[in-house]
Amino acid sequence: MGQMALTRKRGIERGLKLPPEDAVADACPKSSSAGPGSPLLSERNKHFEAALTHMNQGLCMFDAESRLVVCNRRYHEIFNLPHDRLVFGMTQQAVCEVLIEHGCYPPNVTFEDIRESTWQALKAQTAEPILRKLADGRILSVLYRSIEGGGWVSTFEDVTRQRLAEARIAHLSRHDALTDLTNVRTLHTEAGRLLAGVDGDEPALAVLSVDLDQFKTVNDLHGHVSGDELLLAVARRLRENTRKGDIISRLGGDEFVVIFRAHGESAALASARRLRNALAEPYDLSRVRLRISVSIGVSICTDDAPQIEKLLREADLALRHAKSSGRGAIHLFDASMSELVSQRHQLEMELHAAIVGDQLELHYQPLVDISTNRTVGVEALVRWRHPTRGLLPPMEFIGIAEDIGLIAPLGEWVLRRACADAAAWPAHISVAVNVASAQMSRPTFAETVIGILAETGLDPHRLEIELTETTLFVDTETTLGNLDALSALGIRFAIDDFGTGYSSLSYLGRFPIGKIKIDRSFIVAAETRGDALAIIRAVAGIGVSLGMTTLVEGVETQAQLNIARAEGLSQVQGYFFSRPVPKGEIVSFFHD
Ligand code: C2E
Ligand code: CA
Ligand code: CA
């Protein structure tokens, strides 16, 4: 009698509920008595056999004596076994030994391990599958169910792909997709872990809030691909320059946070400086080589019940301070910063009211023709007559207006006021208005200007718009469209603060620019420094050859005026002639 028949007979004798004979015929060697010609073959059996053979899961069944009674084709496939390797009647131990010998399981897995986990699973009586790892890395989900009267059935499903996908999703939800650094969500849990370890004897915890200076310009100038590459390179340098266990996280954009154990303030600041210097080394990206600087805010926690939210907030405040004091700065949080930030918040709220509530004023400063010494135009410079703080200079609120999206309405107010004022002045006086990048990149900007000209009746030839180099480099279609549309009307454009940005002369030919305004710092330096003088000279030369007006800002002395004249500039502006003055006073400059 064949092994299978034997097994069946014993099973039936013990009252085991076994599947029909033929169901097992597919995967295990057949005995002669259960051949295809067997009279026991019925429709039901055929269905059962088909189901077993085609099911997606491996299935095997052991009787009360732990002997194999059913085992389908998929089971063999999953374990890469030749289809005649297992025979009915084999004990679980024998089956496991075949699998182990065949190298299905990792080398350290023994039969005892498998038997133990099988019994644990059967005892638990839960529907929870257990996961088994195979030697080749695949993961099986195995479900054990005991059978009434003894024995059990187990099913095996290859869940490798599903598991990998789950692991990937879990990873993504905890990490930043671009840099693979931890994201904000994980930052809090990880920081909690680090914080939990801080007590009296342990070193304090330092939080660095790191922000790239002028990252937006990198994006605008070199495109988002380079921007992303730069962020990746920064992430890599942060990893290389921190220790294992430190937390590095990207909060989004160009903002990073680094958290680590530090022995006090000076150690934390030293680490911050080291990071800043490492990040300042040049970056060789695929399309461009560039340098950046970073600003860093530092907060340190020494108390017993540290809160990560508080530390992050403090580091962020310190960062904002660092940012406002120029590039590459590192600031340590101190309590007075909160006060300054709430003042700023106050200003933000009040600025809304100022724009609609008539608190803005324009002052005008003469632009003087160098050969005739006569005023040929004025620059409009905005001020805020604050209800309690007096007359605020633009430096105190233009940046805020840009940050909170108020620069467009503010700029529109300035344009309207300046055009209306200028319309009442003699026709030979032009008016220059400062326009921010955020205004030039608005699709409606040209329309707005045209509307204001129509409203105020100012001849477009008398309006000059001052742009910074950054605005030109944000050469989006929209900015260029506005530039072209407005210069077609006769409005002139000037480059402001020339020499402080990219100082590249190559773009001058690409845009309809009629004037270069050399930054104030050059005329001051020209008195003592040859390089500053050389730049003034070069700009004057370009003005002549390209037919552009050249002006130097910030002329305060006769000596400086003499330099400007000697170098052949066409216009000057500065306290030597006049400070910016209210509308009522500027008119006195228009007639000699
Ligand atoms: P800017 O366009 O470079 O304007 C010239 C600034 O230099 C003015 O400062 C002016 O008062 C100052 N200045 C002129 N001559 C001299 C001088 O001989 N010596 C010194 N030390 N300074 C001189 P202000 O009015 O404080 O404006 C500062 C900046 O605010 C402006 O720089 C401009 O960038 C911005 N700004 C002013 N009004 C507006 C505006 O309506 N819209 C926008 N977007 N920005 C504005
Ligand atoms: Ca200006
Ligand atoms: Ca300027």
pTM summary value = 0.59
Count of domains in the chain?
A: 3
Assess whether 307 and 251 both reside in one domain. yes
* Average pLDDT per consecutive 10 residues, the chain (592 residues; last block may be shorter): 37 37 42 46 76 89 93 92 89 94 92 90 82 92 90 92 86 88 87 70 82 84 90 97 92 93 89 95 89 93 73 91 83 86 83 91 98 96 94 91 87 97 97 93 93 97 92 76 94 90 68 91 87 87 90 96 95 97 95 71
Mutation probe of ligand 1 site: the residue of 379, 396, 398 with most atoms within 8 A of C-beta = 398
CB under 8 A, 24+ apart: contacts of 581-588: 581/363, 581/364, 581/365, 582/361, 582/363, 582/364, 583/362, 583/363, 583/364, 583/421, 586/364, 586/366, 586/378, 587/425
Assess whether 220 and 252 both reside in one domain. yes
**pLDDT confidence of residue 110:** 92
Nearest to 149 by CA among 234, 62, 207, 209: 62
Residue 518 structural domain: 355-591
Assess whether 157 and 180 both reside in one domain. no
Is the Cβ atom of 366 under 6 angstroms away from ligand 1? no
Residue 344 lies inside a defined structural domain of this protein: no
Residue 19 lies inside a defined structural domain of this protein: yes
Protein residue whose Cα sits closest to atom 35 of ligand 1: 394
Assess whether 185 and 84 both reside in one domain. no
DSSP string, 214-266: THHHHHHHHHHHHHHHHHHHHHHHHHHTS-TT-EEEEEETTEEEEEEEESHHH
Q: How far is the CA of 23 from the centre of ligand 1 (A)?
A: 91
Residue 268 lies inside a defined structural domain of this protein: yes
CA atoms of 135 and 113, how far apart (whole Å): 15
Ligand with an atom nearest the CA of residue 467: 2
Q: How far is the CA of 553 from the centre of ligand 2 (A)?
A: 9
Residue 280 lies inside a defined structural domain of this protein: yes
CA atoms of 592 and 589, how far apart (whole Å): 6
Q: What angle do CA 423, 424, 430 make, to 5 degrees?
A: 50
Q: How far is the CA of 328 from the centre of ligand 2 (A)?
A: 26
Element (H, E) at 267: helix 264-280
* Residue where one domain finishes, among candidates 277, 301, 334: 334
Assess whether 194 and 289 both reside in one domain. yes
Protein residue whose Cα sits closest to atom 7 of ligand 1: 554
**pLDDT confidence of residue 346:** 86
The CATH number assigned to the domain holding 207 equals: 3.30.70.270
Specify the 3-state DSSP secondary structure of 28.
coil
CA atoms of 116 and 122, how far apart (whole Å): 10
Residue 476 lies inside a defined structural domain of this protein: yes
The CATH number assigned to the domain holding 514 equals: 3.20.20.450
Around Cβ 264, how many Cβ atoms within 10 Å? 13
Q: How far is the CA of 495 from the centre of ligand 3 (A)?
A: 8
Q: Can you give the three-state secondary structure of 387-449, one letter per residue?
A: CCCEEECHHHCHHHHHHCCCHHHHHHHHHHHHHHHHHCCCCCCEEEEECCHHHHCCCCHHHHH
Is the Cβ atom of 177 under 6 angstroms away from ligand 1? no
Contact between 369 and 429 under an 8 Å Cβ cutoff? The reply is: no
* Residue where one domain finishes, among candidates 163, 184, 201: 163
Assess whether 472 and 515 both reside in one domain. yes
Is the Cβ atom of 409 under 6 angstroms away from ligand 1? no
Residue 342 lies inside a defined structural domain of this protein: no
State which ligand 1 atom lies nearest to the alpha carbon of 466: 2
Contact between 432 and 377 under an 8 Å Cβ cutoff? The reply is: yes
Assess whether 421 and 552 both reside in one domain. yes
Nearest to 392 by CA among 343, 331, 450: 343
Q: How far is the CA of 458 from the centre of ligand 3 (A)?
A: 24
In the chain, the N- to C-terminal Cα span, in Å, equals 128
Assess whether 323 and 360 both reside in one domain. no
| Residues 190-215 pLDDT 10s | 887 777 766 556 668 899 999 998 78
> Residue 468 to residues 241, 274, 499, 501, 585: CA-CA distances in angstroms?
36, 33, 10, 8, 28
